[in-house]
Structure 1
Amino acid sequence: MTETLFLTSADVDSLATPAEYVNAVRDGYRQRGEGAPAQPRSKFLRGDPEGMLTSYAAVLPETGAMGGYMYSSGFGAVDAWFMTPLFDAESGAPLALLDGASMNPFKTGAAGAVGVDELARADADTLAVIGSGAQARGQLRATATVRDFAEVRVYSPTPENRDSFAADFDDDLAADVRAVDSSTAAVTGADVVITATKASEPVFDGDDLEPGTHVTAMGQYSPDKRELDATTIEKATYVPDLRERATFDAGSFIQALEEGAITEDHVHAELGEVVAGNEPGRTSEDEITVFDSGGTGIETVAAAYLLYERASDQGLGQTIEFAPASEALTGN
């Protein structure tokens, strides 16, 4: 038998700051750029009851951990449930099982922030956020740790949602955070654009992007859904979290490909290759860049191990027992 730490969402809530998530996730992507294994998500859909079961994983050798996410959304519960198994990368033994719900916006936001840090101009100070849900909030919290924004504009089609978002962050951030009434008003003149929506169609016109803008898109990971139009993809230096995702479930890239705006060679590099210094990021002040973030086991394992270490140090959680296969299969 081996003892494994079980951590509830409440156990891990507030264990790490947004900046600490960003540092852990940045190191995870560096390891990926140096050869750490990771693959795109597997996604299984059911029509009756309607729902989705998703999983993805990664091994981070230097961190000493491996694991990922398995989560369901929809079905009869009409909700989502996030489970994060974490294993020791040396022994293979289970280290922890986390309820991954509360860390989700933070680890996803951290991946977006790493993309901004690697690809946005160093002097970027105007941010547009399209979306106002938990993921948009996570993106803003994390991204605000890598750039000093003077102005943040948020657009959501629901006025009360964008107003509430702006009011909350205007109190929390040094930046002037305000709601605007269109995506055009948000994007025009912005140095950084973040899309975090459930939209199936592009959420802004690529012609509205100024030279030198960076875009992080993280709201869609389905071939038939996209947040970015073909114009944006065609104009940009395109960096996905994983190369395989570009033609697997990155809807913005796939649909630009189908429209003939680009070829498969349009993928510049994976984020990890840029973080590791194996490929260049931004090479000019006028370049438009895109980080297409669909979610990977890289940020999940990096964040989960950070939380596991913090919880262990603070004596949080409870232990559960797992039987090794050599015992469970033989009864010895």
Structure 2
Amino acid sequence: MLLLSEDQTRDALPFPDLIDALAEMFRTGCEMPTRHHHDMEVPGEPDGTMLLMPAWLPGGFAGVKVVNVMPGNSKRDLPAVAAQYLLSDARTGAMLALVDGGELTARRTAAASALAARYLARSDARHLLVVGTGRLAANLVAAHMAVRPIEEVTIWGRSLEKAEALARDLRVRFPVAIQAAASLEDALGNADIVSAATLSTEPLICGKAVKPGTHVDLVGAFKPTMRESDDDLIRRARIFVDTREGCLSEGGDIVQPLNSGVISKADVKADLFELCRKEHPGRQSGEEITLFKSVGAALEDLAGAILAYRNAER
């Protein structure tokens, strides 16, 4: 059985290939039972979450990811997400690979955002704003650069010091202009793509600050109690999701405005299945604001794990 470290998993999942692999899996589909979602009490800290995410291609590959999401790790300078992915042969049951789940999760999450941006961001989008300074931030920059001609990146975080440190690190890795922002409102008004990856329970992305034509990508807030966007943005934007089942039950950016009557289920225009199968055209004008909400799906992990296994085997 292959054991893929964090570095080996990263090397086996280049973003252009990973985005294409996700597109193909959303187009063709796989078996994907409802994931297990369990809150875990952590005394003196916010609750952690354990996720069990199975998926399989009949007669092909099967896999399951075990994920622990621990918000309190931010105070320990540790990643909030710890995970492993076990890939097996769906015909024989043989265990094929244990893939670093944290790197797989970070890269497939960013790749799903970039896949959505293929359909929803303007083709000339050049200025990317990343909201959040965690592990996903650098991956979101790399993934969006794989699908749009990004020339400028702005980083905003609750800690300006952390945002500036991340900007310095990213300047070494990417050949574009990169800076930290002290004002989120000002940064929102200048961005073509806004990609937020936080564990916020209060809205950060205000609709009044977002200019026409912007694509907003909401990656964090994976629980109904969490939220990154306000009602004004939800009202102004055309809404898309990774999966309807997941976002209508788990993503607070969709669940909360649904429960309050701000939107209805009909306001969710399409998911990635429909976009990848060309059942919806995606962005339809240069002036509309598009919003993509993701909570993650087991088929994304399966697609990424298969790609990592095949690349590592080669």
**Same-fold call, TM > 0.5?**
yes
Q: Deviations over 1:103-128 (max 9, x none)?
A: 32212111111111121111111111
Instruction: Report deviation, 1:184.
Output: 0.8
Matching of residue 111 in structure 1 with residue 112 in structure 2 = yes
Instruction: Report deviation, 1:92.
Output: 4.9
Q: Deviations over 1:79-105 (max 9, x none)?
A: 753121223345554332223123322
Aligned twin of 1:9: 6
Gaps of 5+ in 1: 314-332
Change (3 A) 1:83 1:267: same
User: Counterparts in 2 of 1:260-299, with a 5 A limit?
Assistant: 260-299=261-300
Whether the aligned pair in 2 keeps the contact of 1:196 and 1:218 (CA below 8 Å) is yes
Aligned twin of 2:22: 25
Gaps of 5+ in 2: none
Equivalent residue for 1:55, pick from 43, 52, 55: 52
Q: Deviations over 1:175-194 (max 9, x none)?
A: 21111112112110321110
Determine which structure has more spread, i.e. the larger CA radius of gyration. 1
Whether the aligned pair in 2 keeps the contact of 1:120 and 1:214 (CA below 8 Å) is yes
Instruction: Please say which of residues 46-55 and 98-107 is displaced more in the overlay.
Output: 46-55
Partner SS for 2:52: strand
Matching of residue 65 in structure 1 with residue 61 in structure 2 = yes
Q: Distance in 2 between matches of 1:291 and 1:65?
A: 29
2:63 maps to a residue whose letter is G
Q: Distance in 1 between matches of 2:229 and 2:57?
A: 31
1:258 maps to a residue whose letter is N
Equivalent residue for 1:44, pick from 35, 38, 41: 38
1:158 maps to a residue whose letter is S
Whether the aligned pair in 2 keeps the contact of 1:129 and 1:186 (CA below 8 Å) is no
Partner SS for 2:96: strand
Q: What is the TM-score of this pair, normalised by structure 1?
A: 0.84
Q: Distance in 1 between matches of 2:152 and 2:297?
A: 30
Change (3 A) 1:242 1:9: same
1:198 maps to a residue whose letter is L
Aligned twin of 1:96: 97
Q: Distance in 2 between matches of 1:7 and 1:149?
A: 31
Matched residues, percent identical?
Answer: 31
User: Counterparts in 2 of 1:1-332, with a 5 A limit?
Assistant: 4-32=1-29, 36-39=30-33, 41-47=35-41, 50-60=47-57, 64-74=60-70, 80-313=81-314
Q: Distance in 1 between matches of 2:155 and 2:82?
A: 28
Q: Deviations over 1:221-264 (max 9, x none)?
A: 11111111122122222111111123210101111122321112
2:38 maps to a residue whose letter is F
Change (3 A) 1:96 1:261: same
Instruction: Report deviation, 1:8.
Output: 3.5
Q: Distance in 2 between matches of 1:148 and 1:60?
A: 34
Q: Deviations over 1:257-299 (max 9, x none)?
A: 2232111211111112101212221111111111111111122
Partner SS for 2:11: coil
Q: What is the TM-score of this pair, normalised by structure 2?
A: 0.89
Q: Deviations over 1:13-72 (max 9, x none)?
A: 42332222222222222223xxx333554210122555321122333569x433242122
